[in-house]
């Protein structure tokens, strides 16, 4: 889109123009991307952050020295003059200052709204409780293998606004519930909710609130890609909207089917590739591959190229990542499993007996949901983090449990408990912020402790 078209789109869809006064709430990577975008289109903005020195503070001052920046709290005067708020995903909409301006009918927009107004190229939108980063990355590879200039970002890696480029032919955007709850202008050509399991209930308060936020990915009139095996997602179908289903359990849409002793990934009656050709472990990753194929088909990607991309796909760091084999014990890093559903999927995909390392910040989730899969798949559990006691009480002795103060101590305890032929799996079912900067640091420290053990 040329500049004039973007300006017209912003005004038409968001009532955003050169007379607007935008307050960017939160100065992390997303907030800084919004500042760059608004500056490019000559829209007035100021920035506010409750932290004394937010991560992108110095970068903003250097780039735009005349910008008003309020830090160390939420100054009422900054909110009073704003016509629009762009609230970063890390900031809750329940903040008192934000609730007041919502009640005063100040318009809330998101970086995803700005992004959607600024491109006329097709967008694939991916959300769900688990698997969204894997599917997003698969699709980026599929697009580029199909000779379509494809970029991916959003909740994964690069902020959506920083992806905008005239050379891009397809955008794949991973979206969290926090991004979606404040988004109104998204109209993706293809969109999916991969699955739903309780997550972020400390912010959304109820499962219904979380589901409502996720469902906003289907705003607009694009094709819906629905998980036939997830009752909540299956019920999101909208009358008179095109949809494709994917399933591990039925034979509709993209599914699995046995032919001449081999299991194939199928599109209707057409075999696409053998399941054993997928290099990723776990049936949840087969479901991810089926979802990616359905999304890619919707935007016209070449099926053979998509299958080649899947055969070469090596997976993501910190997602069912094999670290080492020590004395016959396999060590697996699934630090990205920051909720119950991800941990359940990881355990269900394992064939051998597991010593599970779990724990951290449970984000208000009901951890008793882990009991059936822990009883079935694990030998014992080693717990870390602030909610270790909560998880120990929840699993109620269904298997032996131990507690460790650090990830290194957890590795040492697990090494004593695991026998040859078994696996030790770090799949925390919890967020990492209680002990680490993020799940990546948690995974890195786990791998370092395992490699030290191996040495």
Of residues 356, 402, 413, 410, the one with CA closest to residue 379: 356
Beta strands in 2-52 (DSSP E): 21-25, 44-49
Contact 362, 391 (CB under 8 A): yes
Of residues 141, 452, 109, the one with CA closest to residue 288: 141
Beta strands in 360-443 (DSSP E): 378-384, 401-403, 423-426
Of residues 191, 15, 208, 11, the one with CA closest to residue 108: 15
Distance between CA atoms of residues 422 and 380, nearest Å: 11
Angle in degrees, CA 142, 278, 373, rounded to 5: 115
End-to-end CA distance of the chain: 55
Which residues, 6+ apart, have CB-to-CB distance to 332 below 8 Å?
320, 321, 322, 323, 423, 424, 425, 426, 427
The helix or strand, by DSSP H or E, that contains position 244, with its residue range, turns out to be strand 243-246
Beta bridge partners of 191: 125, 224
Residue 13: count other Cβ atoms within 10 Å of its Cβ.
16
Of residues 260, 286, 254, the one with CA closest to residue 272: 254
Contact 233, 196 (CB under 8 A): yes
Distance between CA atoms of residues 267 and 120, nearest Å: 28
Residue 10: count other Cβ atoms within 10 Å of its Cβ.
23
Torsions phi, psi for 22 (to 5 deg): -100, 135
Q: Among all residues, which ones are annotated catalytic?
A: 132, 155, 200
The number of C-alpha atoms within 13 Å of 251 and in the hemisphere containing its C-beta is: 7
Angle in degrees, CA 229, 231, 237, rounded to 5: 100
Distance between CA atoms of residues 101 and 364, nearest Å: 27
Beta strands in 40-169 (DSSP E): 44-49, 69-71, 84-87, 107-109, 123-127, 150-154
Beta bridge partners of 246: 227, 254
């Amino acid at each position: 889109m040329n500049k004039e078209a973007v300006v017209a789109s912003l005004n038409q869809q968001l009532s955003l123009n050169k007379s607007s006064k935008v307050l960017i709430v939160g100065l992390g990577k997303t907030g800084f991307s919004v500042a760059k975008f608004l500056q490019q289109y000559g829209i007035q903005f100021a920035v506010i952050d409750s932290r004394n020195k937010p991560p992108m503070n110095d970068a903003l001052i250097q780039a735009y020295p005349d910008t008003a920046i309020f830090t160390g709290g939420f100054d009422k005067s900054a909110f009073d003059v704003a016509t629009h708020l762009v609230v970063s995903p890390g900031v809750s909409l329940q903040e008192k200052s934000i609730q007041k301006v919502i009640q005063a009918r100040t318009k809330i927009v998101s970086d995803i709204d700005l992004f959607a107004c600024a491109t006329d190229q097709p967008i694939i939108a991916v959300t769900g409780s688990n698997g969204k980063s894997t599917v997003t990355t698969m699709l980026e590879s599929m697009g580029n293998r199909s000779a379509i200039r494809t970029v991916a970002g959003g909740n994964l890696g690069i902020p959506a606004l920083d992806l905008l480029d005239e050379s891009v032919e397809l955008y794949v955007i991973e979206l969290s519930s926090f991004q979606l709850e404040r988004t109104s202008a998204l109209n993706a050509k293809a969109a999916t909710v991969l699955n739903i399991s309780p997550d972020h209930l400390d912010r959304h308060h109820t499962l219904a609130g979380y589901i409502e936020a996720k469902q906003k990915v289907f705003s607009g009139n694009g094709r819906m890609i629905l998980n036939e095996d997830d009752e909540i997602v299956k019920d999101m179908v909208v009358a008179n909207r095109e949809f494709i289903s994917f399933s591990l359990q039925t034979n509709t849409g993209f599914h699995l089917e046995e032919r001449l002793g081999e299991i194939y990934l199928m599109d209707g009656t057409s075999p696409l590739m053998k399941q054993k050709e997928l290099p990723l472990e776990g049936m949840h990753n087969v479901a991810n591959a089926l979802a990616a194929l359905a999304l890619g088909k919707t935007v016209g990607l070449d099926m053979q190229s998509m299958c080649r991309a899947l055969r070469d796909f090596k997976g993501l760091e910190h997602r069912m990542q094999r670290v080492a084999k020590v004395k016959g014990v396999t060590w697996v890093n699934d630090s990205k499993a920051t909720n119950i559903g991800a941990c359940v999927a990881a355990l269900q995909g394992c064939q051998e007996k597991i010593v599970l390392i779990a724990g951290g910040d449970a984000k208000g989730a009901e951890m008793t949901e882990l009991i059936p899969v822990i009883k079935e798949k694990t030998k014992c559990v080693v717990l870390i983090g602030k909610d270790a006691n909560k998880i120990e009480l929840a699993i109620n002795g269904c298997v032996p449990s131990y507690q460790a103060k650090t990830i290194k101590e957890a590795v040492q305890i697990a090494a004593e408990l695991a026998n040859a032929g078994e696996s030790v799996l770090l799949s925390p079912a919890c967020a990492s912020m209680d002990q680490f900067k993020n799940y990546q640091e948690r995974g890195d420290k786990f791998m370092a402790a395992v490699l030290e053990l191996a040495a």
